[in-house]
Amino acid sequence: MVFFTACWRKARASVWLVLLLACAWAQAEGPASGSAAITQLLVQRVDGELELSAEVQFELSAQVEDALHKGIPMFFVAEADIVRERWYWTDKTVASATRHMRLAYQPLTRRWRLNVGARPIETSGLGVTLAQTFESLPEALASVQRFGRWPIARAADIPTDTPHLLRFRFGLDVSQLPRPFQIGAVGQSEWSIAASASVKLPAEGAK
């Protein structure tokens, strides 16, 4: 079931709220393998930006967790697209954003390191990323699963007089695993972590 709050105006922000319940929802697309679920999705206009907050729930399989403990990093990707649906042509994407996350175990310190960036993160040369360290795997995963006020577009690029559709996707990117793991992960549900949701963003003033 999906609950919409009415779109309201404030001095500096307008908010669309969609709560996606894991048990049942109307407009959310179910996870590819039942391994993950988007349980909360919040989109708001704040200070000239469109911000996304979300929560994804999933559990790592024993195979994935074992690989992590052996020093194999895992790569997660979140994608957000805002599109305008057109009955006479293909939908038009008006804005998009991507977040790449690299989670790795550091045996020497026995800590977990999470790197976050807007572009794919290479194992050698992490580039420009935000790095965090955690004492435990559950703490690190909690950070992977939560998205707080993620800027996905300039508010000026999203007209308020036209309804749009938000498409949000999250998953484990096995294409960045070492080659032997890529081959072993193909078609294996233990390596499949994926979820997606689509929700309409009503035009301002819409009931």
The whole-angstrom separation of Cα 47 and Cα 93 is: 22
The whole-angstrom separation of Cα 40 and Cα 2 is: 10
pLDDT in tens, 14-66: 455 544 433 333 344 444 434 799 999 988 888 889 999 999 999 999 999 99
The whole-angstrom separation of Cα 64 and Cα 77 is: 16
Do the Cβ atoms of 91 and 84 come closer than 8 Å? yes
Q: Cα–Cα distances in Å, from 21 out to 56, 62, 97?
A: 11, 26, 24
pLDDT band at 156 (very low <50, low <70, confident <90, very high): confident
pTM (two decimals): 0.81
pLDDT band at 69 (very low <50, low <70, confident <90, very high): very high
- Output the six-digit token pair for 72: 């194999």
Contacts 24+ apart (CB under 8 A), 35-39: 35/59, 35/61, 35/189, 35/192, 35/193, 35/194, 36/170, 36/171, 36/193, 36/194, 36/195, 37/195, 38/168, 38/170, 38/195, 38/196, 38/197
Do the Cβ atoms of 110 and 68 come closer than 8 Å? no
The whole-angstrom separation of Cα 2 and Cα 7 is: 15
What is the enclosing helix (H) or strand (E) of 51? strand 49-58
Nearest to 121 by CA among 103, 146, 143: 103
pLDDT band at 4 (very low <50, low <70, confident <90, very high): very low
- Output the six-digit token pair for 176: 């960045």
Produce one character per residue of 109-135: b if its CB has 16 or more CB atoms within 10 Å, e if not. eeebbbbbbeeebeeeeeeebeeeebe
Whether pLDDT at 78 is above 90: yes
Cβ neighbours of 176 (radius 10 Å): 19
The whole-angstrom separation of Cα 174 and Cα 148 is: 25
Whether pLDDT at 88 is above 70: yes
